[in-house]
Amino acid sequence: MKKILSIVSSPRGEASYSIKLSNALISKLQETYPGSTVKEKNVAEGFPHLAQSHLNAFFTPSDQHTSENKEFIQTSQESIAEIRDADILVIGAPMYNFAIPSTLKAWIDQVVRAGVTFKYDSNGPEGLIKGKKAYIIVSSGSVYSDGPMKDYDFVTPYLKTVLGFIGITDVEVIRVEGTSVSGIQDAAYEKAVNSIAAVA
C-alpha cells in the first residue's frame, strides 16, 4: 500500500493529456500496490504565486509569527506536509512555451524552502525530503525526447533538478508527445500509456 500525491497543473480538465496519462499511471500503481490511497492537489487555478507577504512569513522565525505570517505561510506548510506524507508523487506537467505552467512553478516556490525542504552545510546543499518516488508526466504538442526540438525541453531538466535539490532523486519521466503532429498524433496517447508498464 502506498500514499500517492497527484499534482495537477493543467486547466484543461478531461481534454488534458497530462491529466489522462497521470490517471492511467495512478491506476497502474494502484494495481501494483493494492490498497493505495490517492490525494489530488489541483494547482491549475487559484494557487498563490509568491508575494512579499509569503517571503516575510518564510523568513520570520515561527515563534515570532504574527497572525498575518501564519495566514500567508499556511499554503506552503500544507503543501510540504502533503509531500512528506506521500510515498509517490505524480506530477502532471504540460509543456507551455517550452516550460512548465506558472501555477506549477508557484507550487514549487511554495515547497522549496531553505531550512525546511533543503539546507546548506559545509558540503553544500542537501535535500531534506528523502525516500520518495516521483513520476513526471510531460505532455507536449511536438516531440522533445529526441530530434531537433530536444534542446527546447526545459520541463524535464528543470523538474528533475528541483526535485533532486530537495532530496527526491528517484524520478521517472513519462511522455505523451507529438499530440499536434500530423501522422503521429493519433497514436501518441496510446504509445504513452503503453510506456507506463516499463517504469511503473
pLDDT tens string, the chain, 200 residues long: the values are: 999 999 999 999 989 999 999 999 999 999 999 999 999 999 998 899 999 999 999 999 999 999 999 999 999 999 999 999 999 999 999 999 999 999 999 999 999 999 999 999 988 999 999 999 999 999 999 999 999 999 999 999 999 999 999 999 999 999 999 999 998 988 999 999 999 988 88
d(CA 26, CA 60): 38
Residue 194 is labelled as binding a ligand: no
- Confirm whether residue 120 is marked as ligand binding: no
User: Please, what sign has the CA dihedral across residues 133, 11, 49, 102?
Assistant: positive
Q: Write down the pLDDT at residue 198.
A: 85
pLDDT at 169: 98
Residue 6 marked as a ligand binder: no
Please indicate if the annotation marks 76 as binding a ligand.
no
DSSP 8-state code for residue 152: G
Domains and CATH numbers, the chain: 3-197 (3.40.50.360)
Say which residues have a Cβ less than 8 Å from residue 118's Cβ, sequence separation at least 6.
112, 125, 126, 127, 128, 165, 166, 167
| pLDDT computed for residue 166 by the predictor | 98
Consult the annotation and say whether 10 binds a ligand.
yes
* Predicted pLDDT of residue 197: 86
135 marked among binding-site residues: no
Q: What is the structure's pLDDT at 70?
A: 96
User: Phi/psi class of residue 85: alpha, beta or left (left: φ > 0; alpha: ψ in -120 to 50)?
Assistant: alpha
Q: Using alpha carbons, list the distances in angstroms from residue 148 to 110, 127, 153, 181, 197.
A: 34, 34, 11, 14, 27
Name the DSSP letter for residue 60.
S
| CA 106/CA 11 separation, integer angstroms | 15
Residue pair 155/93 in contact by the 8 Å Cβ criterion:
yes
Residue 33 assigned to a binding site = no
